[in-house]
Structure formats: C-alpha cells, structure tokens
Structure 1
Amino acid sequence: MLRFLLLYLSIYPLAHYYALRKIGLAFQPGKKTTRGIALFMAIMIAAPIMVRVAERAGIETGARFWAYASFSWMGLLFLFLTFSVAIDTARFAVQSMEKILNQRLFHSTLSPRRIFAIQAMLVVAIYGYGIFEAKDIRLQRIEIASPKITQIPGKIRIAQISDVHLGLIVREDRLSRILARIQEAQPDILVSTGDLLDGQLNHLGAEAALLAAIRPPLGKFAITGNHEFYAGLQDALDFTEKSGFTLLHDQAVVAGGITFVGVDDPTVTLFDKKPAKPEGDLLSAQPRENFTILLKHRPDLNPASLGLFDLQLSGHTHKGQIFPFNLLTWFLYPHTAGRLTRLTSGFLYPSPGTGTWGPPIRFLAPPEVTIIDLVPVK
C-alpha cells in the first residue's frame, strides 16, 4: 500500500497541475479564481486518501459521499487528460513537421477556450455513457470441448465473476444486476477470481445475503485478489464464507469431476510471511484424468504450471476499465482480457471484470459474467 500511495502522490498531483495549466490557457482566470480552482483540486487529491481513513474509522456516510465525489472527479479528469494529451501530441507533431519543411501545414481557427469547451462536452458525454456501460452487465459465453469431460454427466456450466469490488460504490443495486445475469445462465458452478471486495468492509450484510441466495448445484468457489488483503484478510474471509463460497487458499477441490485449484494473490506475502506452496507443486499433485481449472487472480502464466492445467481463469486488469488504460494493462499483461487464449496445453481466459474500481464508469471495456461450457468431444 505504501508503494501505491507514493505512486499516487507522485502522479495524481501532476495530472491536476496539467489540467490547471489548460484551464489557465483557455480562460486566463484571475489570481483569486486560480487559487479557488487549485484548492478544489487539492481537496480532490486528498479525498481518496481521506475516504480510506473514514472507512477505517467506520464513518460510512461521509466516506460514501467523498468516494462518489472524488472518484467521479478522477474519471472526468482522466478523460479530459486523454483528450488534452492527444491534442497536444498532434499539435507538437504538426509544429515539428512545419519546422522541418519550413512551411505552414495546418491553421486552426479554434481558440483555446473553444477547444476546452469541446473537450469538456465530449468528456461529460463519454462519462454519461460510461455510467451506462458499467451497469450493462453482459453474458460472455465460451465453450471448450475436452476428452476429459465424459458423456456422463455431460456439459458442465461454470459462471465466472471477477473484480466486483463490493464496497462504498458497488452496492446492492449493482450486485443484483450481476446476480440476475448469473441466474439467467443457470450455471452448475460459480467461481469468483478475486477482488470480490474493495477496501474496508462497509456494512455488506445485504450483499452477503444476496450472494448466499445463489446456490449452484455443484458449489461456489473463490480465491483472494489483492483487495481482499486491503480489506483485512479475516474480515474478507468471513464475508466470503457468509456469501456461500468455499475459499481456496492454495488448495484444490473436486466438483462434478472438475478439479479446481485456487492460489492466493501475491499480495499475501505482504501480510503472511509463511512461504506459499509452489503453484506447480500444487497442480502436479492433482489427478491428471480430471479436467483441471486453475483459479488465479492475475493473468500471468507460471512456466512451471504449463501443461498441468486445462484452463486458467483470471481477472485483475478490468481490461483497463476506461480506454485507453487498456493499452497499459495490455503492456503489463499481454494476454487480452475478454479473449480465450489457446496455450501449448490448455487455455487462459482473463475476465475483463464484473464491477468497477475507483471511477464508477467503464468505457470501451464492458463488464461481464463469463459463462464457460465444458463439453465432451464429439
């Protein structure tokens, strides 16, 4: 968390300074107005930190207000900066070419104020759409045929949710939408591949009851993501169990002839100094005749595990959540979220996530409940 805080305090104030400069160029406000804008921005920089402090102190009403305010502002600011950087990059490229060619290539009649106004209107429009996209939970269907799936019992249907981030912003209403999509698919098994929770627990009894009411015939399994540790591991474990999930803590379980192997997120090493059982050892101990699914929060591949599982289900990246953040997540995790990747032996499917973290929007990264049908080879 300290590393994340230092990164946040290094980058986020610079983003605000850049935006303040853009406002200054567009409107040339007086000193008093500039100070007022700077004060507002300083509050918005501090607010996400204060939200976490308020959470820990149990001041939920204030924490929820500031979470909505500060994270909504964060989303608006990011969209504005995306447009600004794109425009400034294009302007720099044109000016560089003009110097090289020693001639005028492009002449704009738009004033900085008009450009700013156009950007602001686009940002508000995209943000409004992003709220809709975040609530539009989709069903993504995948079918995998394997000789390890026998004619009896036949097709096994698994529903995957990931990165729901229940907490101050994602609450009962959003969860109800997610669960309605799960019930529509009528899965045999439900799995959560981490970050079911966000930060500190905030009176989520109703959400636990909603989750507990979903009872697939072959069971529900979950693993830890990084946010389960931020929420407080014991509280997160209690919530997950109240929700009816069996938490796989570097463990394996067999359901419907399918072996599920769940591993903890690497964040566990910050809280538990005991060395985790190597992933490859855990997988190699499982019966090879069973179709084996590795539940692993981050969509990275361990070379020692290749060939020991038939399908890895992951999450974590949110597919960037807000374009063009997907370019950054693709750089860090090159296996594209929302796409089934065939490996030399087996498959990898990184979920683009089901909820939101931070800004309560998604843009060009729709949330999904993934439905995986395992069927016999015909």
Structure 2
Amino acid sequence: MSLFLLSFFLIYGSLHAYVFFKAKEAMAFGNAMAAMMVVFFVIMVISPVLVRVTELHGMHPTASVIAHISYTWMGFLFLFFSASIAVKLYNLLLIVAGKLFDRGFSDFALQAVPGFYLPLLIAAVISMYGFFEARHIKAERITITSPKMPVAVKKLVVVQISDLHLGVMVGKDRLTKVLELVKAEDPDMVVSTGDLLDSQLDGLGVMVPLLQELKPPLGKFAVTGNHEVYAGLQQALSFMEKADFKILRHETAAVAGLLDLVGVDDPASLRDSRKKAPAETDLLAGLSRNRFTLLLKHRPVIEPASLGLFDLQLSGHVHKGQIFPFNLLTHLFYPVKMGLSRHPNNSSLYVSRGTGTWGPPIRFLAPPEITVITIIPAR
C-alpha cells in the first residue's frame, strides 16, 4: 500500500505540475493566482485519501462531496493531459513534414496560448459528454449455441453485471436504474463478476433491500473483485450474502441440471488468505464435459490449461479503459478483446465494459453495460 500511494502521489502530482506550468506559460499569471492554484492542486492530489479518511469516520455526506469534486477533476485532468499530448504530436508532425517536404509548416503550429486553451476546451466538452455517457447503460446481447444445452430447454438467459462499484460515487439511484434494466430482461440467472462494491460499507445498507428484490428463478451468483478487498473483504462478503448472492470462492455450483458454474476469487482476495485455494484447472477438470460450464472470473485472464474445460468465461475489471485513451494503457496489462472472443478448444471469453464507474463519474467511448447472454441448444 505504501508503494502504491507513493507511486500514485508521484504520478498524479506530476500531472498537476505539468498543468500548472502549461497554464502559467499560457496565462502569465502572478504570484497570488499561482499560490491559489498550488493550494487547489495539492488538495486535489491528496483528495482520494481525504475521501477514504472521511468515510472511515462515518462522514458520508462530506466524503461524497469531496469525491464528486475531486474525481470529476481527475477525469478532466486526464482528458486535458491526453489532448495536450495530441497537440504536441500534431506540432511534431508539422516539423517532420517540413523536413520531409523541405517546406515550412510552422504557421500551422499551435503555440503556447492555443496549445493550452484548445486541450482545455476539449477536456471540458468531453467531460460533460462523458458524465451523461456514464449514465446511459446499454444492454449488450450475445447468443451462445451449445450442443451441451438440453434440447428440451428453449433458451437460458443469464444477465451479467460487473464493476458496478457501489459506494460514495455510485449510489441508490444508479443501482435502481441498473436493476430496472436487469428485471426488464426477465433473466433466468444473474451473475456479478466482481467489484460490486467500491468503498466503506457503512452507508450501503439501503442497497441490500433493492438487490433482494431481484429474484431470478435460478438464482444470483457472484465472485469477488479487487475492490471487495479494498472495501473490507469480510464486510463485502456479508453484504453480498445479505443481498442473496451465492458467492463462489474457488467453488462450483450445479444449476438446475442445466449448467455448471465455476467462480474464482480475485487474486487480491487470496494474498492474505491462510488457506490455499484449489487451482482453477482442478475445479474445471472435476466437472462433466457434457454440461455447459460457465466460468466467472473478475480479471479477463485465460489460463491456457483451462481452455477446453469451460465453455464461456465472463469477466470485467478493465472498464474498456472507462475514458479514452486510457484503454490503450489497460490493453497493455490485459491484451484481450472487449466483448466476445473465441478461443481454442471451443472456449469463449466475454469481457464486460462494466456497469458503473470507478473514480471519475465519466465514461468516454466506453459506455456502461449489462450483458444479456442467451444460451440455446444446438438443433
């Protein structure tokens, strides 16, 4: 945690320093304005810690105000930085073009003032758009045809939610909207592939009855994500159990003789565990190859030895970057295709963009989703 905080403050602080000097170059403000900006920037850098501290002390309204201001600023800052880099690349391209064609293109370059205000405008416009995109939840639909599904079953509908991040930023109103969308699909089963929760749970008791109202006939199942650990694993597990989720922690479950479910813990929840979890491949190998096997796993990582032992893996975690172009960075760590992808030995992977938001209440080119998976027998 110390290393994480040190890295966070170093990177986030450097971003603020970059913006400060860009603003000073463009606006040439005096010492008083500089001092006010420095104070604001310092508060924004330490604000995630302030949110956590106020939550721990039960100051939920204060935590919510700080979080909404500081995390919105975080998204805006990232967009400004990205747009500024795009401007620098544009100016560099003009220099390269001038050398290649032996012509001067310097008149088209964006100097200090427009090079500051244009990214500022782009960041502001995208932030406003992204605020509304984050609230426009889509129902993504996929159909899986399998010879393992009993012919007598016309179809089996599974709805996946992932990365809802209930907490100080995503509250009762958003959950209500998500549940309305899920209920409208009339699913046979609902699964949560991690990060249902985000933060301290003291103020989330009001969410439990809402989740209890969701009663698909074949049940609700969940696996842990890394944020359940950050929220406090035992409290998070208790919350999910009260909400009537059956939590699969390196466990299997047979569902009405139709399919087998396998759920594995997120690696974050295993680090402090004294009990060694069974290997994913061992869980899968013990199941019948004649029944459809659905693997729930928070992070979109496929174990090569598991290929052929499951039919469909459902994952989340990456949010498709949440704010473009952050997806370019997440793809370095998780180089998988978003949505449905086919893999060797008749195994498939579906990676959800996530249902909620983490940090900034903004999404850009990565709209939130619930996923409707319809499994039908091969005729």
| Cα distance in 1 for residues equivalent to 2:109 and 2:353 | 41
**Deviation at residue 242 of structure 1 after TM alignment:** 1.2
Tell me the residue number matched to 1:260: 261
Residue 171 of structure 1: CA displacement? 0.3
Distance across 1 between alignment mates of 2:307 and 2:343: 12
SS at match of 1:200: coil
Q: Deviations over 1:168-205 (max 9, x none)?
A: 01001111111111011110000000000002214112
1: CA distance, partners of 2:127 / 2:340: 25
SS in 1 for 2:229: helix
Q: Which residue matches 1:371?
A: 372
Alignment correspondent of 1:271: 272
Q: Which residue number in structure 1 is paired with residue 359 of structure 2?
A: 358
**Partners of 2:2 and 2:285 in 1: CA distance:** 36
Q: Distance in 2 between matches of 1:109 and 1:156?
A: 58
CA displacement at 1:113 relative to structure 2: 2.7
1:110 offset after TM fit, Å? Answer: 5.7
Structure 2 match to 1:59: 59
Cα distance change, pair 284–370 in 1 and its aligned pair in 2 (3 A): same
Q: Which residue of 1 aligns with 2:155?
A: 155
Distance 1:17 1:163 in 2: 31
Task: State the Cα distance separating 1:375 from its structure 2 match.
Answer: 0.2
Q: Which runs of 5+ in 1 are unaligned?
A: none
Q: Does 1:24 align with 2:28?
A: no
Q: Distance in 2 between matches of 1:52 and 1:161?
A: 25
Contact 2:84 2:115 (C-alpha < 8 Å) held by counterparts? no
**Which range is displaced more, 100-109 or 295-304?**
100-109
Aligned partner of residue 301 in structure 1, secondary structure: coil
Q: Which residue of 2 aligns with 1:325?
A: 326
Partner deviation per Cα, 1:51-82 (whole Å, 9 max, x = no partner): 11221222211111111111010011011111
SS of match in other structure, 1:135 = coil
Provide the rounded CA distance (Å) in 2 between the counterparts of 1:43 and 1:95.
Answer: 38
Percent identity between the two aligned chains: 46
> Displacement, 1:7?
2.1
* Structure 1 position 214, deviation (Å): 0.4
CA offsets 1:236-258 (integer angstroms, 9 cap, x no match):
01110111100001100011311
CA contact (8 A) 1:144 1:373 kept: yes
Summarize the alignment of residues 3-152 of structure 1 with structure 2, pairs less than 5 Å apart. 3-98=3-98, 103-108=103-108, 112-152=112-152
User: 1:222: which partner in 2?
Assistant: 222
Asked whether the equivalents of residues 144 and 375 of structure 1 are also in contact (C-alpha less than 8 Å), the reply is: yes
For 1:324, the aligned partner's letter is P
TM-score, normalising length from structure 2? Answer: 0.96
Name the SS of the counterpart of 1:159 in structure 2: strand
Cα deviation, 1:287-316, whole Å, max 9, x if unaligned, reads 221100110000011112111100000000
TM-score (norm 1): 0.96
Q: Secondary structure at the match of 1:198?
A: coil
User: Who is 1:316 aligned against?
Assistant: 317
Q: Which amino acid aligns with 1:328?
A: L
| 1:264-289 per-position Cα deviation (integer Å, ceiling 9, x unaligned) | 00002332132221110111111221
Which residue of structure 1 aligns with residue 182 of structure 2? 182
Amino acid at match of 1:197: L
**Offset of residue 6 of structure 1:** 2.4
Q: Which residue of 2 aligns with 1:213?
A: 213
Compute the displacement of 1:2 (Å).
3.4
1:299-314 correspondence runs (5 A)? 299-314=300-315
Using the alignment, how far apart are the partners of 1:110 and 1:335 within structure 2?
36
Name the CA distance, whole Å, in 2 between partners of 1:329 and 1:341. Answer: 20
User: 1:124, 1:206 → 2: CA distance?
Assistant: 34
For residues 119 and 186 of structure 2, the distance between their equivalents in structure 1, rounded to whole angstroms, comes to 44
Check conservation: 2:229, 2:268, Cα contact below 8 A.
Answer: yes
1:200 aligns with 2:224: no
Range 356-365 or range 90-99, more displaced: 90-99
Provide the aligned length of Structure 1 versus Structure 2: 378
Q: Identify the residue that residue 165 of structure 1 maps to in structure 2.
A: 165
Report the Cα offset of residue 50 of structure 1: 1.2
Q: Which runs of 5+ in 2 are unaligned?
A: none
Secondary structure of 2:108's counterpart equals coil
- Letter paired with 2:59: I
What's the offset of the Cα at 1:343? 3.6
Preserved contact between residue 317 and residue 337 of structure 1 (Cα < 8 Å): no
Task: For residues 91-138 of structure 1, give each alpha carbon's deviation from its aligned partner in whole angstroms, at most 9, with x where no partner exists.
Answer: 133335546766412413865334433332222211111111111111
* Partners of 1:278 and 1:233 in 2: CA distance: 21
